[in-house]
């Protein structure tokens, strides 16, 4: 019991000065020198490094995934600028809170003190709240720092965004996470340095790999593993792979069905299919499925892709996708996911043509540019006597009455005669259509020339 009591005391001392605070909070860097990662903005000559060297405070927003140091960086900047730090949660704070902080900031400014207002999850502020921040960030009453996991160009109003520098934070590298892990294990005051914690190499690798660039997740899993680990010989808390796996639990994939990550992943899927990369296509397909994406959304996107990017180069691609839809509706999840995978691989491997897509765009452009163009008389229906007297359907050549079912008549409006919208490629099955259209154009040209010759007076 004495050994157990001693270990418990060591753990409590390791948690000082705030025993109730999670390890991730206790280990938060106290100075910029302790800050790990984000070299792309803090490295020599980089944007934030230059800004700090100039000594001029600036309003900005940090955009990056969870656990990458956004809040910590905001606090360290306020410290660097010798400014008072006020933290808001966009979920809990409103316009009245903003007004109160602004009044306090004005008073401090008269005494020569600057105020940093940090808004966590700033993307959750509505337009009225963002409007309330705008004049004070612009006038310099407040130094506005925001943190967001969402694309600022979608979530922050243009007027406010134009007054903020956007700094992008990346997921921490495994090397960065390794440094943070070692600090947590060795720091006797804020970390676990007094607790005699040892990790097997496999446990260490697992904790880092499953943190997915998130320092908070890494430290949270480490803390759980330490609390659950039994005492070994010599009072050591040894964490092996099994305990690390139990502490981590199942990874919840970062994904939001109606925000930027959704569009990032569906774009990656589309571009993988277009680039004929079945392995990447399968990865992005299952990334979305595993994160909870609605399978019918993915099926709709692949059906569209079959016409837009494969088209007539392989007309059966569309059949594969609609068959996948039917199969999925019959089976449901999880068995039906394999039908989506089959469709994705087929699309990736199929020859590609966007001829239908470009034809669609060209047709729409002419329709909107030229307005109402009348159909040729011979192409019109003539269900009444008056219509026949007006020349509707006059001279119409019924293709099945002619050799090879080919006629020389034109069916586009007069202003568009000779226009070609569909221009097939020579890839895949579309090469057959290309050759067929060339044959038809030659045959029609001969018939038109023959018709003109017959119209000439002898």
Segment 149-183, tens digit of pLDDT: 888 888 888 989 888 899 999 999 999 999 999 99
Do 272 and 225 fall within a single domain?
no
pLDDT for 26 beyond 70: yes
pLDDT for 146 beyond 60: yes
pLDDT, residue 99, reads 86
- Contact, 321 vs 347, CB < 8 A? yes
The 10 Å Cβ neighbour count of residue 165 is 12
Q: What is the mean pLDDT of residues 418-426?
A: 92
- Contact, 216 vs 230, CB < 8 A? no
Q: At what angle do helices 316-331 and 295-305 cross, to 10 degrees?
A: 170
Alpha-carbon dihedral angle through residues 309, 313, 319, 320, given to the nearest 10 degrees:
-70
In the structure encoding, which two tokens stand for residue 47, read together?
């944007």
Do 133 and 215 fall within a single domain?
no
Rounded Cα gap, residues 244 and 222, in angstroms? 8
Residue 7 banded pLDDT, cuts 50, 70, 90: very low
Which candidate, 239, 243, 241, 234, places its Cα nearest to that of 192? Answer: 239
Do 225 and 322 fall within a single domain?
no
Do 75 and 152 fall within a single domain?
yes
- Domain assignment present for residue 254? The answer is no
Q: Look up the CATH number of the domain holding residue 231.
A: 1.10.8.60
Do 45 and 139 fall within a single domain?
yes
- Domain assignment present for residue 439? The answer is yes
Do 392 and 342 fall within a single domain?
no
Domain count, the chain: 4
In the structure encoding, which two tokens stand for residue 354, read together?
């966007």
In the structure encoding, which two tokens stand for residue 212, read together?
């997915």
Do 275 and 395 fall within a single domain?
no
- Domain assignment present for residue 419? The answer is yes
pLDDT, residue 253, reads 57
The 10 Å Cβ neighbour count of residue 421 is 17
Q: What is the mean pLDDT of residues 421-440?
A: 92
**378-417 confidence digits (pLDDT tens):** 988 988 888 888 899 998 999 999 898 988 899 899 999 8
Do 139 and 234 fall within a single domain?
no
**221-240 confidence digits (pLDDT tens):** 999 988 888 877 777 888 88
Partners of 88 in the beta sheet? 119
Domain limit, last residue, from 228, 248, 268 = 248
Interior/surface letters 70-107, b for 16+ CB within 10 angstroms, e for the rest: bbbbbbbbbeebebbbbebebeebeeebbeebbeebee
Do 145 and 210 fall within a single domain?
no
- Domain assignment present for residue 390? The answer is yes
Q: How far is CA 61 from CA 1, 30, 65, 325, 426, in A?
A: 52, 21, 13, 43, 50
In the structure encoding, which two tokens stand for residue 219, read together?
């430290």
**64-110 confidence digits (pLDDT tens):** 888 899 999 999 999 989 899 988 877 777 788 888 888 888 888 88
pLDDT for 306 beyond 90: yes
- Domain assignment present for residue 238? The answer is yes
Residues 6+ apart with CB under 8 A from 129: 90, 93, 94, 95, 98
- Contact, 36 vs 28, CB < 8 A? no
Q: Look up the CATH number of the domain holding residue 45.
A: 3.40.50.300
Angle CA(358)–CA(361)–CA(367) in degrees, nearest 5?
A: 140
Domain limit, last residue, from 168, 192, 212 = 168
SS3 at position 237: strand
Rounded Cα gap, residues 97 and 117, in angstroms? 11
Do 199 and 237 fall within a single domain?
yes
Domain region containing 81? 38-168
Residues 6+ apart with CB under 8 A from 269: 281, 284, 285, 288, 298, 301, 344
Do 46 and 159 fall within a single domain?
yes
Regarding predicted confidence, which is higher, 192 or 451?
192
Q: Look up the CATH number of the domain holding residue 426.
A: 1.10.3710
Residue 10 banded pLDDT, cuts 50, 70, 90: very low
């Amino acid at each position: 019991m004495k050994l157990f009591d001693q270990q418990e005391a060591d753990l409590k001392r390791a948690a000082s000065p705030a025993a109730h605070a999670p390890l991730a909070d206790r280990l938060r860097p106290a100075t910029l020198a302790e800050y790990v990662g984000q070299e792309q903005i803090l490295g020599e000559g980089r944007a934030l490094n230059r800004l700090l060297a100039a000594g001029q405070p600036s309003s900005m927003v940090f955009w990056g995934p969870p656990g990458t140091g956004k809040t910590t960086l905001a606090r360290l900047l306020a410290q660097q600028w010798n400014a008072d730090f006020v933290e808001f949660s966009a979920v809990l704070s409103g316009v009245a809170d903003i007004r109160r902080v602004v009044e306090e900031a004005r008073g401090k400014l008269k005494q020569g003190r600057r105020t940093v207002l940090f808004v966590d999850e700033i993307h959750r502020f509505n337009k009225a709240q963002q409007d309330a921040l705008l004049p004070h960030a612009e006038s310099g009453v407040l130094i506005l720092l925001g943190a967001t996991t969402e694309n600022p160009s979608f979530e922050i109003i243009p007027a406010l965004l134009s007054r903020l520098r956007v700094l992008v934070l990346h997921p921490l590298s495994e090397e960065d996470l390794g440094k943070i892990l070692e600090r947590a294990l060795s720091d006797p005051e804020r970390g676990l340095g007094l607790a005699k914690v040892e990790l097997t190499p496999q446990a260490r690798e697992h904790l880092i790999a499953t943190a997915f660039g998130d320092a908070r997740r890494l430290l949270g899993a480490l803390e759980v593993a330490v609390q659950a680990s039994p005492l070994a010989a010599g009072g050591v808390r040894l964490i092996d792979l099994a305990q690390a796996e139990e502490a981590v639990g199942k990874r919840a994939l970062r994904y939001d069905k109606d925000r930027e990550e959704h569009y990032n992943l569906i774009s990656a899927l589309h571009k993988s299919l277009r680039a004929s990369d079945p392995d990447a296509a399968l990865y992005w397909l299952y990334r979305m499925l595993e994160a909870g994406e609605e399978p019918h959304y993915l099926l709709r996107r692949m059906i569209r892709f079959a016409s837009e990017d494969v088209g007539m180069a392989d007309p059966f691609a569309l059949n594969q996708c609609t068959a996948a839809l039917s199969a999925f509706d019959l089976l449901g999840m999880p068995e039906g996911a394999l039908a989506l995978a089959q469709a994705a691989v087929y699309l990736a491997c199929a020859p590609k043509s966007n001829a239908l897509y470009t034809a669609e765009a060209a047709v729409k452009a002419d329709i909107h540019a030229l307005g109402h163009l009348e159909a040729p008389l011979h192409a019109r229906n003539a269900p009444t006597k008056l219509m026949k007297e007006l020349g509707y359907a006059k001279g119409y050549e019924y293709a099945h009455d002619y050799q090879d079912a080919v006629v020389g008549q034109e069916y586009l409006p007069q202003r568009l005669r000779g226009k070609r919208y569909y221009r097939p490629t020579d890839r895949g099955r579309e090469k057959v259509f290309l050759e067929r259209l060339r044959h038809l154009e030659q045959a029609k040209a001969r018939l038109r020339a023959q018709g003109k010759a017959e119209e000439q007076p002898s």
